[in-house]
Structure 1
């Protein structure tokens, strides 16, 4: 069975009727402006033809407006079941405006023609009802007349089938025309591809943010909970401190999660949490409470760093301490942050475990991408008997 035959069995195959009705709406406010021009021609067909041509020109001019194109795409997607991408907020180019104007003219013209044809065919369906009601009048067909009778039944059936065929064919025609004239141009497709690339980049950034924030919180909380379980009877004060750390870390992670989920839902989210190197001491305190011997050294005006650089620096230290919590051997963890006039340097160094560390490649890969986006460099790997995570981010263009 062909697609057209299958469309006759689906209600969606007859969407052209409401679409045609909606196409007549723009003609009503425009029609009064076409009447004065039509009155300049002789009565009869010339006047009617001039009125139709004037109405078409006015509809075409109306279609040049940017909002008309956006409305046309939305209506086609809603009533015809097309999947046309919505035009961007930028003003459409003139070729796209011309296509929109042409489509508005065709939409209104063929919509009115469809309604007229369907109206005549549906009137034919009423013939058997008139005959069964006792009406013995004459029916005229193309100049010939026939008395009412049983013949009206098959004729009415034929006209009903014809109405369904015409309506289904019009639906397919409307869809093809909408795709051709309202579909994206090459420039719009390029803009759509850019928006999609930006959206994917944003989602990747959010995934990295979640990995850094939630991963650090879960690691810290797991270690703190395990330590608290061992000390619940021997050192209740230490247990309370551990639970406080877990609560604070969880609250911070919930703030990050709420912000990210709000962005994914495209709804107004809570204000984006600002985590910068000015809070690096908080990371050190949490890591110490989780059992690490953290030696933190901060040099230079960290508060004066560019916001983007400071945020990435915070994430670098966070990832380094998270990996140390998971994999470091016994010994101190040295964290060094140097904010110089030309570059930011960060190093997190910890002892290697006996079986060599698992490197946490997913987090390090995300950090590398973000540091490289700032024209910086990030290295991670064994350095003698210790594991070193180091990053250098330039603060001046061309450095």
Structure 2
């Protein structure tokens, strides 16, 4: 019973009733145009004095409504009204103008349906409540039973007077039920008639994929650059604290390394955030913001050729022994490969420092074999293991993503021949994908 009452008079039912009445209001201009045609044909100037002529005017006006629904703003406006008044989810509606013939046809069908159902319900909403109220009050207000009121003769009988209030209440419930059914049907049909087409869904999916790719790229850059800097600074500060009294010279070197690391990381962070300002970012072509003074150019992204030595120096400043074998000239690497290789080496060293500790030897090997750049990072197993960080563990996944985007591959795990953890990455130097 509660569900039935909510269906008739609940908040959603009332909003859908308003939606139907708005449709009736929109239908009125078309009905007036139809009456201009019906009046002369029927030979009756008082079109609205006859229900038959009113219906004929309504029938002529609806095709005119279908034609005017081709106006570009019809679908966006109707979609917005349906979302707020009919309770249809936003992702099931299209908010752009109808472009194809199919979209225009569905929009015309919806607009005609909305105005048709709205005109009927709006007309009933104007006519039924006064008559129902008169029936409810008929036994109690003698003036309503005056012959001049034009009531049917059957309503003057005693039994009819007794039933009149119930009939009036039943008419109001029937009106609410009619409005509820029409509103529910329109809400159910709205996604089919106003929903996005297959092309719209594909375009939306492509836009989401492009935005997700940008966010993932930014997340990888932040994880690798800032994460490595924080790991290195933590180790350097820890080593300096342990020898604060016994080796002041080492402490000065560690503090200098911390200063250099943080200063460089600020520059890298600026370069990482520059990803958001890339011209190939989604939506860049549609940027209509007023021209502003150009921002300072961000620092160039670090590369293996220009920044490997500094990365090794800052890593060693924290205490760990890092041996590096570079069997190729980084200057000969393609810029994209050099940039991604730097990030891979940076994250590989960070993982080794976090999981092996600062009192171990980390071996790095960079070489070119079979037209592939090979990067290997090894560290002994069994070092101190930090407590896992909430939300951590994305470093190896980021390395694999970088390698895969360049057509390469990454492998990480314990060495079956010894107590070593090995990260091995292969990056093609030529496009063989």
User: TM-score, normalised on structure 1?
Assistant: 0.73
Stretch of structure 1 that moved more, 93-102 or 122-131: 122-131
Identify which of 322, 332, 348 aligns with 1:320.
Answer: 348
In the other structure, the counterpart of 1:15 is 15
2:425 is matched with 391
1:331 to 348, 361, 365: 361
> In the comparison of the two structures, how many residue pairs are matched?
389
Cα 1:303–1:3 shift into 2, 3 Å: farther
Distance 1:325 1:169 in 2: 67
SS in 2 for 1:372: helix
Instruction: Could you tell me which runs of 5 or more consecutive residues in structure 2 were left unpaired when the two chains were aligned.
Output: 278-282, 288-294, 387-391
State yes or no: 1:365 paired with 2:393: no
Per the TM alignment, residue 117 of structure 1 is displaced from its structure 2 partner at its CA by: 0.9
Alignment of 1:37-52 (within 5 A): 41-44=41-44, 51-52=57-58
- 1:73 maps to 79
Q: Please tell me whether residue 120 in structure 1 is matched to residue 127 in structure 2.
A: yes
- Using the alignment, how far apart are the partners of 1:34 and 1:299 within structure 2? 84
Seen in structure 2, the aligned counterparts of structure 1 residues 151 and 239 have a Cα distance that, compared at 3 Å, is same
Distance 1:190 1:87 in 2: 13
Q: Is the 8 A contact 1:330 1:353 kept in 2?
A: no
Shift of 1:210: 5.0
Write out aligned runs for 1:220-299 (5 A): 220-233=232-245, 234-235=247-248, 237-238=252-253, 240-241=255-256, 243-244=258-259, 247-248=262-263, 251=266, 275-277=301-303, 278-281=306-309, 283-294=311-322, 295=324, 297=326, 299=329
Q: CA deviation at 1:54?
A: 4.9
What is the CA–CA distance in structure 1 between the aligned matches of 2:28 and 2:108, rounded to whole Å? 16
- Alpha-carbon distance in 2 for matches of 1:158, 1:320: 77
Q: Is residue 105 of structure 1 aligned with residue 112 of structure 2?
A: yes
Q: Output one character per residue of 1:130-165: Cα deviation in whole Å (capped at 9) or x when no partner.
A: 997885464556786659988764444333323332
What residue is the counterpart of 1:63 in the other structure? 69
Deviation for aligned residue 1:188:
4.6
Cα contact 2:231–2:354 (8 A) shared by 1: yes
Q: Which structure 1 segments of 5+ residues have no match?
A: none
Give CA-to-partner distance per residue, 1:20-70, whole Å, 9 cap, x none: 243356557777876776677444579766754553233223334554333
Q: How far apart are the structure 1 equivalents of 2:425 and 2:197?
A: 44
Question: How far 1:387 moved relative to its partner?
Answer: 5.4
Indicate the RMSD between aligned Cα atoms, in angstroms.
4.9
> What's the offset of the Cα at 1:113?
1.5
CA–CA separation in structure 2 for the residues paired with 1:152 and 1:168: 24
Q: 1:283 to 1:152 in 2, by over 3 A?
A: farther
Decide which moves more: 114-123 or 157-166: 157-166
CA contact (8 A) 1:343 1:392 kept: no
* Cα distance change on mapping 1:347 and 1:133 into 2, 3 Å: same
Tell me the SS of whatever aligns to 1:349: strand
- Relative to structure 2, which stretch is displaced further, 118-127 or 102-111? 118-127
Cα distance change on mapping 1:149 and 1:180 into 2, 3 Å: same
| Equivalent residue runs for 1:298-317 within 5 Å | 299-301=329-331, 305-306=335-336, 309-317=337-345
Please state whether the residue corresponding to 2:319 is helix, strand or coil.
coil
Deviation at 1:126, TM superposition (A): 4.3
Deviation at 1:375, TM superposition (A): 1.6
Describe the superposition over 1:315-368 as per-residue Cα deviations: whole angstroms up to 9, x where unpaired: 212211112212457335436377x9x96725243442456999x974223322
Pair 170,243 (structure 1): closer, same or farther in 2 beyond 3 Å: same
Match of 1:377 in 2: 409
Deviation at 1:80, TM superposition (A): 0.9
Normalising by structure 2, what TM-score? 0.68
Q: How far did 1:175 drift?
A: 1.0
Deviation string for 1:85-109 (max 9, x for gaps)? 2437696432222111100111112
Structure exhibiting the larger radius of gyration computed from Cα positions: 2
